[in-house]
Amino acid sequence: MTTGKDDSPPAPVTGHACIQAYLATLDNSPGVYRMLDAQARVLYVGKARNLRARVSSYARPTGHSPRIQRMIAATASMMFLTTNTETEALLLEQNLIKQLKPRYNVLLRDDKSFPNILIAKDHPFPQIRKHRGARRDKGAYFGPFASAAAVNRTLNQLQKVFLLRNCPDSTFEGRTRPCLLYQIRRCSAPCVGLISERDYANSVRDAERFLSGRSTGIQEELARQMQEASAALEFERAAALRDRIRALTEVQGSQSINPRTVDEADVIALHMEGGQACVQVFFIRAHQNWGNQDFYPRISDDMSPAEVMEGFLGQFYDNKELPRQIILSDAIENADLMSAALTRKAGRKVDLVVPMRGEKAELVAGALRNARESLARRMAEHATQARLLRGLAEAFDLGTPPKRIEVYDNSHIQGTNAVGAMIVAGPEGFRKSSYRKFNIKGDDLAPGDDFAMMKEVLTRRFARLLKEDPDRHGDQWPDLLLIDGGAGQVSAVAGIMEGFGLSDIPVIGVAKGIDRNAGKEEFHRPGRPPFALRHNDPVLYFIQRLRDEAHRFAIGTHRAKRARAVGATPLDEIPGIGAGRKRALLAHFGSAKAVSRAAVADLKAVDGISDALAETIHAFFHDRG
């Protein structure tokens, strides 16, 4: 007997009614709110000076842009965190946006760190080198530079001018005669005593003065020394000093924009067009341009320049050194709040400036021109990429152009140091932040068994993906797999995917033709005959680029693993033996084999090896079953 009663759970309340229900629980505190959909995915993260007032604005049914209307309609729940101040709310908001990557926020997707120049101060003859990451080493840091290329270019010229060493301490200590850098006048050879500690310290001081923007006196001093050498008929020394002055001039000339009135600032310019944005950042330090970098945050059509710029600033400076001044092309709504948040993060005053005239306005105009040109190039590249993805979909009957292509390859030498590699491509080209490498772990694999290696890689990849996102809602799921191999490889991969219940993801094998020449590739799909594309088809070239990039990444990963294995010794397995003690042992005994034969008394004689550690080393080699 049926009662007509519906026992199914009620549909979740979404939209304005859902948001309205939270108002009774909120007060006027500042804080951060999150809007979530029915699957508990975060749609949006926002801050508020007054949480109740801000949330009530979303509860109104009118007055919203189409983007906000879509966001409200999808909202099924909300989360709140109160803070003591609105500044704290701003900092928390930006941290959560970077962590959660909500769909409706401005999102800075490229969050790289920037390199610095470090003059290390933990040695009597300091080393000058490139440094990236936390500033833990003792020394003087100069930066940030926009790229490794900008640092390398500057380091190259600084070596010509100041003749500072760039070799690591272990190399320095082991030299008995000058290296090639001394021969080509890039180093003063302190390792073999060809310069005194005092004179080398003067060179270090001059390098620091130059990197701090005080180079005029250095050029004058070098010119005076050159004249003295010439008057004393020391023509070779005079020529060397002339070359150093020329190199110093080249450094200054290569920096293209050297503002007179701006000592330390980041110049940030935003250009928006066609629903896309480019943010160009110029780094000005010590009155010198230390390069520029472009960024492409994810935005929506209805976002204002003020909203995009504010979102970019909060995320960009989350983990970076702050300058004393940030020069902007567009004003932001909460400039005082952002300045206070950045000042708190830096521990000193940080000013936000939107210049209208003068040299700062000229710097912004130059950065804005770069942003406009960069975005135009990117949009042209995306149009080409979109055509290629459409062509790929048509060639392989995919239905829709793929948004995420994963390409897999293996690399090894007769089965040793085997690695698997995965690269990712999509509408924006190669997504290098999504590349993954896999150290092949299977102990029972036959040397060179590519089928077994591919099975291990794909099993690890998709087992983890299913664990992290079983409902396949995220953007980490591929629309297409490209495999380097023929029918056998494709059949094996198809079996693996079927075992995971993922047979709906297309698999294509790329195999060389009969004569194994590029351009004669054959393509394999499960259950279909192989076929080829015409030799001048742009889609063929596109697939070749994908395969070659996967091969390049796999080879590079394999070589790095092999290099680590070549430098490995049994000493690496001994507890308490780090890089320094390993170097000391090898320098004292000459080889790991000699260390293994040494008596406890001999081991104790090595600098840095305590009595207890000597016993541990001896036991490691002599008490093993």
Q: Examine the domain organization and report whether 555 and 594 are in the same domain.
A: no
Q: Examine the domain organization and report whether 440 and 539 are in the same domain.
A: yes
Asked if residue 5 is part of any domain, the answer here is no
Rounded Cα distance, 232 and 226, in Å: 10
Rounded Cα distance, 181 and 192, in Å: 13
291 and 145 Cβ atoms separated by less than 8 Å: yes
Q: Examine the domain organization and report whether 528 and 617 are in the same domain.
A: no
CATH of the domain at 604: 1.10.150.20
Cα angle 407, 422, 562; round to 5: 130
CATH of the domain at 82: 3.40.1440.10
Q: What is the DSSP letter of 434?
A: G
| Domain final residue, candidates 52, 72, 100 | 100
Pairing verdict, β 116-120 and 139-142:
antiparallel
Which candidate, 504, 501, 480, 483, places its Cα nearest to that of 493?
Answer: 483
Q: Examine the domain organization and report whether 553 and 413 are in the same domain.
A: yes
Pairing verdict, β 264-273 and 325-328:
parallel
* pLDDT of 7 over the 60 cut: no
Token pair 């590079």 is at which residue? 556
Is the Cα dihedral 445, 446, 447, 448 positive or negative? Answer: negative
Q: What is the pLDDT of residue 305?
A: 95
Q: Examine the domain organization and report whether 524 and 588 are in the same domain.
A: no
* pLDDT of 2 over the 50 cut: no
Asked if residue 394 is part of any domain, the answer here is no
Asked if residue 593 is part of any domain, the answer here is yes
* Phi, psi dihedral angles at 411 (to 5 degrees): -145, 135
Q: Examine the domain organization and report whether 140 and 75 are in the same domain.
A: no
* pLDDT of 565 over the 80 cut: no
Q: What is the DSSP letter of 298?
A: B
Asked if residue 147 is part of any domain, the answer here is yes
452 and 445 Cβ atoms separated by less than 8 Å: yes
| Domain final residue, candidates 564, 588, 614 | 564
* Phi, psi dihedral angles at 197 (to 5 degrees): -60, -35
Asked if residue 447 is part of any domain, the answer here is yes
Token pair 């042992």 is at which residue? 585
CATH of the domain at 276: 3.30.420.340
Q: Examine the domain organization and report whether 175 and 309 are in the same domain.
A: no
Asked if residue 106 is part of any domain, the answer here is no
What integer is the mean pLDDT of 178-199?
A: 90
What integer is the mean pLDDT of 140-151?
A: 86
Q: Examine the domain organization and report whether 128 and 192 are in the same domain.
A: yes
Amino acid at 504: D
Q: What is the pLDDT of residue 219?
A: 66
* pLDDT of 535 over the 70 cut: yes
Q: What is the pLDDT of residue 577?
A: 82
478 and 493 Cβ atoms separated by less than 8 Å: no
Q: Examine the domain organization and report whether 449 and 545 are in the same domain.
A: yes
User: Cis peptide before 401, with omega less than 30 degrees from 0?
Assistant: no
Number of domains in the chain: 5
* Of the candidate ranges 161-175, 187-201, 220-234, the one whose mean pLDDT is the lowest: 220-234
* Of the candidate ranges 348-352, 445-449, 507-511, the one whose mean pLDDT is the lowest: 445-449
Is the Cα dihedral 154, 158, 160, 166 positive or negative? Answer: negative
Q: What is the DSSP letter of 14?
A: -
Rounded Cα distance, 235 and 247, in Å: 18
Q: Examine the domain organization and report whether 275 and 300 are in the same domain.
A: yes
Domain containing residue 275: 264-377
pTM score of the predicted model: 0.72
Asked if residue 352 is part of any domain, the answer here is yes
Asked if residue 391 is part of any domain, the answer here is no
| Domain final residue, candidates 542, 564, 586 | 564
pLDDT in tens, 262-294: 889 999 999 999 889 999 999 998 888 888 899
* Phi, psi dihedral angles at 528 (to 5 degrees): -130, 155
What letters, b where the CB count within 10 A reaches 16 and e where it falls short, cover 582-602? bbbbbebbeebeebbebeeeb
Split at pLDDT 50, 70, 90, the class of 169 is confident
pLDDT in tens, 503-517: 999 999 998 765 545
Rounded Cα distance, 427 and 276, in Å: 13
Q: Examine the domain organization and report whether 582 and 447 are in the same domain.
A: no
Rounded Cα distance, 315 and 392, in Å: 36
Q: 10 Å Cβ neighbour count for 129?
A: 19
Q: Examine the domain organization and report whether 536 and 585 are in the same domain.
A: no
